[in-house]
Homo-oligomer: A and B are copies of this chain.
Amino acid sequence: MEKKKFYSIGEIADKTGVSIRTLHYYDDIGLLTPAKDESSGHRKYSEDDIMKLQKIISYKFIGFSLEQIKEILSEQKFNMNLVDSLMMQKKLFEKEKKRIETSISAIDRAIKIIHEHGEIDSVVLMSLIRSMQTEDKQREWLESYFDKDVVDMIYVQTEGEMQKLDNVFIDFTKRVKELVGSPVDSPEVINLIEEYMKSTLSLFDDNFMETLATQTGNLDEINYDELEKLAPTPFSKEEEEWLNKAMEYYIEQSNFGEN
């Protein structure tokens, strides 16, 4: 004589931490369908139901959808398939983890920048964040023009270097937005660009500059549209055009790359 004990939905909710509504829902979609008391219509959960629910919770934790869980639970074979699914789930999780990690460091970077600069143009901030977000694709893009080790050299930076670069970049954009429109041969403009180049390049050693020079061949063929998608500039069209001219002028003047 087995006296089967049943539990009410509230008890199950307490026991497992799954809400009543969720249990209703699982019943609705046929995932966990307990017996019902004939007269009252109240659900009554058996020990088996509880075990099944534990499995459901576990599979959910591992990342399966309720639809998938339904399948898994109904299959007897169970095994072959499961390992594959587990590995897939793992890959998905690892991707997500990576995404979260970049998001976290983007946040850190943003916070630091705000602290350092106080009120900051959101456009600039965004362009930095966006460029982190697409770093992988930026690398790919760069690697289609330069050797991998050159690209690595560009990206291998310490925390401190990066922060320094951020600051330089932000100051630079600020000045650009102030000076836009003024004659490209004015001392301020020349000074601005000179300062910026020096600060930026100072982070790379001579070795790098040489390597870069040997590979800077057919720059005319570069696909700039692609790049724009990956790292939007914090400048308006107008600012950008002005900046280009200023750069050109500066390079001509200082016969950069000749000697």
Interface residues of A, Cβ cutoff 8 Å to B: 5, 14-17, 47, 50-51, 54-55, 57-59, 61-63, 78-79, 82-83, 86-87, 89-90, 93-94, 96-97, 100-101, 103-104, 106-108, 110-111, 114-115, 118-120, 122-123, 125-127, 129-130, 133, 225, 228-229, 232, 236-237
Contacts and interface: CB of A to CB of B under 8 A. Distances in A.
Q: Please report whether the interface of chain A is mostly helix, strand, loop or mixed according to DSSP.
A: helix
A14, A97, A229: residue with the most chain B Cβ atoms closer than 10 Å? A97
B127 A54 contact: yes
Contacts of A61: 103, 106, 129-130, 133
Identical copies of this chain, number: 2
Contacts of A57: 130, 133
**Residue in A51, A94, A111 whose Cβ sees the most chain B Cβ within 10 Å:** A51
Nearest to A225: B15
Contacts of A93: 100, 103-104, 107
Nearest to A72: B122
Contacts of A83: 111, 114-115
Contacts of A123: 51, 54-55
Given A15-B228, A55-B123, A89 B114 contact: no
Contacts of A59: 126
A54 B232 contact: yes
A59 B125 CA distance: 10
A80 B14 CA distance: 41
A171 to B, nearest CB: 18
Nearest to A78: B122
A237 B201 CA distance: 71
Contact of A129 (B51, B58, B108): B58
B229 A15 contact: yes
A136 to B, nearest CB: 13
A104 B62 CA distance: 8
A216 to B, nearest CB: 26
B62 A106 contact: yes
